Chains A and B, each alone.
Chain A
Amino acid sequence: MYLAPYMWLFIAFFIFFGINTSEAAPKDMAAAMVRGKLLTQENGQPLHTHLKVLHLESGTQEHNISQPDMEGNYFMFLQAGEFYQVEVSGGAFRPYIFELFIPRYTYYYEIDKTIAFEKVNLLGEELGQRTRILYVSYNLVKLQDSRPVDIIRTRYKFLGEFIEHLINSNDTAVDFDKVLPKATTPLDAVEIPALPDADEGEPREKYVRISRQIDSLIQDPNSDPDLFFKRIDSLQNAELSYLKSHSEEQPIEWAELWEISRLIAKHQLLFTNPKRARISRTQKQSLQEIADFINKEPSCTLDILAFVSSATDDNRRAAAKRLQRIHRYLQKRIDNTEKIRILALASPEDLGLKSETSPEGVEIQIRQKK
């Protein structure tokens, strides 16, 4: 078979790039930059703590860990989308262990913990100390929620602080060639997933777990769970069809759920314009705060209730949109999405509430297991 000379060039080009792409990182292979601070409760005394991080599934020890320095700062580079076990040991006694999940597409994760040392005594003699965590705060940033320039800036800031941490470390001399390549993350190869279009239904599989918990009308365990879905039968848009699609699922025993948890706080997001569904900056801040709280409190969950004005179909559509947007917003920020439940989308009257106490809006209830 005769091929013109330039064809051979194409073939060579193809082979070259074919080989090269096999080295390119998959789109979510970038390691998340994890940093944190371990502080003593008293006054930031030097901590003689050691971090050990295990990948939970494989049981292997992670090595891209830089131990706490004199100020308690530590750095890690961990694969996103995985579970880890972090062990903080302050001596020869029982270490403090916690599980860490880094959601997919997380590129920056900050964990601050305040530690107290408890004395270990035996027969009146002090044997040593063990660590106990008093306060924890988390802050994570996902690729989807960031502008590319912010990702680059965060990354530079992180790398700069990591280098400073190494420079200031106690080690006599750091071999930068051994340590710094561990921090090299192929972020450029990461495909930043676009935020889903608000009007486009999310893929169903994302909702499979939650769908098992979605039903309706919590207040009265004996009420008809299909009530809400019947009310929106006439509406055809994507948000509502997503919710409707779950009406065939088995209803949850709400009364039972109600008994095992108690309401500890609630927060209302009000919308003055009944047709408006956009979440404001202030509302986002409060949602972020709620998400942070849920992430650090293992026994807490949250329920979302949206109140629909029965006035017009447009109002109902806007209410459903708000519910969906708030749900999505929280889903992206809460590590364990099983902690989120959509409980109701109904008019306050249908829920047996007075409409003036529950105006157009979404209510988030934070519950704690009893």
Chain B
Amino acid sequence: MQIAIRSLLLISFSLCTLLPAKAQTPYEMKAAFILTLMKYVSFPEYAFETPTERIRIGILGKDPFGDQMDRVLENQQLNGRYWQIKRAKVANELWKCHIVFIAHSEKDNIAEILQYFRQYPTLTVGDGIPNFCENGGIFNFKSVESYRIEASIDAAKHIGITISAAILRHATDIVPCKVCE
């Protein structure tokens, strides 16, 4: 009897693992959002050394996108530049990235992380990180489940990045940067 029950449970377990995964996550849309953001910002000239230098996207912390972004951006171009994706656990491994997505997992060290990126023309995007813009981040999703964004014009100006008014119009909050001088 016990063998029969065990077998039944084991079969059920195996079947469960074969069922399709629950798919709807906000990160596919967030990824599309971040890629679109690139069209609404201008970098200072020195951000790119050559006209064909790749646009580097960094993902700092626990990567919520999986490999989809790599597959989407492979051999794709924006304004004549190919894309490159880098992942890291610490900020200084992403020092040459033009855009850095900072995962929610990094919320506890955010002041330190943003202090590092303020040295470079790097567009920082936070994933629901409290006080992100106050600490010098440029765009921040209001929460991990939300697509609403807050933005800091001061933080962008501080590193020579210009944000189009078209995107700023849709930001729920324009947050003053408290650490940008």
CB closest chain-B residue, reference A166: B170
CB closest chain-B residue, reference A188: B23
Closest CB in chain B relative to A321 CB, distance in Å: 34
Is the C-beta of B10 less than 8 angstroms from some C-beta in chain A?
A: yes
Given contacts A184-B26, A186-B24, contact A160 B36 (CB under 8 A): yes
Given contacts A149-B71, A176-B149, A177-B148, contact A10 B33 (CB under 8 A): no
Is the C-beta of A14 less than 8 angstroms from some C-beta in chain B?
A: yes
Question: Which one of B12-20, B45-53, B109-117, B154-162 contacts A?
Answer: B12-20
Return the contact of A163 from the options B10, B36, B146, B169 (Cβ within 8 A).
B36
**Chain A contact residues: over half helix, strand or loop, or mixed?**
helix
Number of A-B contacts (CB under 8 A): 96
Contact with B along A174-188 (1 / 0, CB 8 A): 111100110110111
Return the contact of A176 from the options B10, B19, B22, B170 (Cβ within 8 A).
B170
Closest CB in chain B relative to A145 CB, distance in Å: 18
Say yes or no: A167 contacts B28, CB within 8 Å.
no
Is the C-beta of A265 less than 8 angstroms from some C-beta in chain B?
A: no
Say yes or no: B29 contacts A189, CB within 8 Å.
no
Closest CB in chain A relative to B171 CB, distance in Å: 8
Kindly list chain B residues whose C-beta atoms are within 8 Å of the C-beta of A20: 22
Kindly list chain A residues whose C-beta atoms are within 8 Å of the C-beta of B33: 163, 176, 180
Is the C-beta of A199 less than 8 angstroms from some C-beta in chain B?
A: no
Interface size on B, residues (CB 8 A): 35
Say yes or no: A7 contacts B170, CB within 8 Å.
no
Is the C-beta of A118 less than 8 angstroms from some C-beta in chain B?
A: no
Say yes or no: A167 contacts B20, CB within 8 Å.
no
Q: Please measure, in the bound complex, the distance between the C-alpha atom of A181 and the C-alpha atom of B27, giving whole angstroms.
A: 11
Say yes or no: B29 contacts A159, CB within 8 Å.
yes
Say yes or no: A164 contacts B9, CB within 8 Å.
no
Kindly list chain A residues whose C-beta atoms are within 8 Å of the C-beta of B148: 175-177
Q: Please measure, in the bound complex, the distance between the C-alpha atom of A176 and the C-alpha atom of B151, giving whole angstroms.
A: 14
Say yes or no: B9 contacts A167, CB within 8 Å.
no
Say yes or no: A24 contacts B20, CB within 8 Å.
yes
Kindly list chain A residues whose C-beta atoms are within 8 Å of the C-beta of B40: 167
Kindly list chain A residues whose C-beta atoms are within 8 Å of the C-beta of B167: 167
Closest CB in chain A relative to B96 CB, distance in Å: 24
Q: Please measure, in the bound complex, the distance between the C-alpha atom of A166 and the C-alpha atom of B169, giving whole angstroms.
A: 11
Kindly list chain B residues whose C-beta atoms are within 8 Å of the C-beta of A181: 26, 147
Kindly list chain A residues whose C-beta atoms are within 8 Å of the C-beta of B147: 176-177, 180-181
Kindly list chain A residues whose C-beta atoms are within 8 Å of the C-beta of B29: 159, 180, 183-184
Is the C-beta of B90 less than 8 angstroms from some C-beta in chain A?
A: no
Is the C-beta of A220 less than 8 angstroms from some C-beta in chain B?
A: no
Closest CB in chain A relative to B15 CB, distance in Å: 9
Return the contact of A188 from the options B13, B21, B149 (Cβ within 8 A).
B21
Say yes or no: A13 contacts B169, CB within 8 Å.
no
Q: Please measure, in the bound complex, the distance between the C-alpha atom of A25 and the C-alpha atom of B36, giving whole angstroms.
A: 28
Is the C-beta of A156 less than 8 angstroms from some C-beta in chain B?
A: yes
Say yes or no: B21 contacts A189, CB within 8 Å.
yes
Kindly list chain B residues whose C-beta atoms are within 8 Å of the C-beta of A176: 33, 146-149, 170
Q: Please measure, in the bound complex, the distance between the C-alpha atom of A50 and the C-alpha atom of B153, giving whole angstroms.
A: 35
Is the C-beta of B119 less than 8 angstroms from some C-beta in chain A?
A: no
Q: What residues make up the interface of A, taking CB atoms closer than 8 Å to B?
A: 3, 7, 10-11, 13-14, 17-18, 20-21, 23-25, 149, 152-153, 155-156, 159-160, 163-164, 166-168, 172-177, 180-181, 183-184, 186-189, 191
Interface pairs A-B: 3 shortest CB-CB: A188-B23, A159-B32, A176-B147
> Can you give 26 A-B contacts (C-beta < 8 A)?
A7-B9, A10-B9, A10-B13, A14-B13, A14-B16, A17-B16, A18-B16, A20-B22, A21-B20, A24-B19, A24-B22, A153-B71, A155-B28, A156-B28, A156-B32, A156-B72, A163-B33, A167-B167, A172-B169, A176-B33, A176-B147, A176-B148, A184-B28, A189-B21, A189-B22, A191-B20
